[in-house]
């Protein structure tokens, strides 16, 4: 059974707030399943090894062998963009540009460029990436789902938290029990 009707978000920059990794993955994989079923590109960015996430997608019921063979599913391990001598912003722009250049739009992306916000410089780089992406979203052909663990987000300074929340069109908040709340950006506090 689907937790969220993801078709409502196929042209939006969405933030997913979660307590449980398992619940987050269900929504992430539902978000990818819809475009894949329509033969559209789906990109999953992970800090883990790609094969680990591919196995989890298979367990969820996504036929990864089929979609990878059709060059529609792209599970990418994110390099450490903070370590790039050109700086995080340029490294992120090059990483995303290189990723999307070889693919036919529309693009459906799950993930963030800087998944570990506890690393030195990651929070400011993530905020800069979210603001830049959101302000240019009208030129992006597709949708993006950015996931944040609620307890980590709660530890951030209020101004950082607000910048992250307000640079998305829609928020999906899923509780540990699987209860889902959806709010448009003008409702996000």
Q: Can you tell me the distance from the alpha carbon of 31 to that of 27, in angstroms, rounded to the nearest whole number? A: 6
- CA 73 from chain centre, in angstroms, equals 14
* pLDDT at site 10: 83
Q: Can you tell me the distance from the alpha carbon of 107 to that of 148, in angstroms, rounded to the nearest whole number? A: 21
Residue 1 lies in a domain: no
* pLDDT at site 39: 95
How many helices (H) does the chain have, and how many strands (E)?
A: 7, 7
Write down the pTM of the prediction. 0.91
The CATH number assigned to the domain holding 109 equals 3.40.50.300
Report whether pLDDT(186) > 60: no
Residue 109 lies in a domain: yes
* pLDDT at site 48: 86
The overall average pLDDT reported for the chain is 90
* pLDDT at site 139: 87
Residue 134 lies in a domain: yes
* pLDDT at site 177: 84
Q: Give per-residue pLDDT as tens, 34-70.
A: 999 999 999 999 998 999 999 999 999 999 999 999 9
Residue 68 lies in a domain: yes
Residue 178 lies in a domain: yes
How many structural domains are present in the chain?
Answer: 1
* pLDDT at site 70: 96
The whole domain housing 122 covers 6-187
Q: Can you tell me the distance from the alpha carbon of 115 to that of 122, in angstroms, rounded to the nearest whole number? A: 8
Whether the CB-CB separation of 162 and 154 falls below 8 Å is answered with: no
């Amino acid at each position: 059974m689907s937790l969220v009707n993801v078709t409502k978000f196929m042209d939006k920059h969405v933030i997913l707030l979660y307590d449980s990794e398992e619940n987050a993955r269900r929504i992430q994989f539902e978000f990818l399943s819809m475009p894949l079923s329509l033969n559209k590109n789906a990109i999953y960015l992970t800090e883990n090894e790609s094969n680990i996430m591919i196995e989890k997608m298979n367990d969820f019921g996504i036929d990864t062998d089929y979609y990878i063979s059709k060059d529609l599913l792209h599970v990418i391990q994110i390099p450490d963009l903070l370590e790039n001598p050109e700086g995080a912003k340029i490294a992120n722009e090059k990483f995303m540009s290189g990723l999307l250049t070889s693919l036919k739009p529309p693009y459906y992306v799950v993930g963030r460029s800087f998944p570990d916000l506890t690393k030195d410089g990651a929070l400011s780089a993530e905020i800069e990436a979210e603001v830049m992406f959101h302000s240019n979203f009208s030129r992006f052909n597709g949708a993006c789902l950015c996931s944040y663990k609620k307890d980590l987000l709660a530890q951030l300074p209020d101004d950082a938290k607000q910048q992250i929340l307000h640079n998305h069109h829609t928020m999906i908040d899923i509780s540990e029990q699987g209860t889902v709340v959806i709010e448009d950006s003008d409702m996000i506090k």
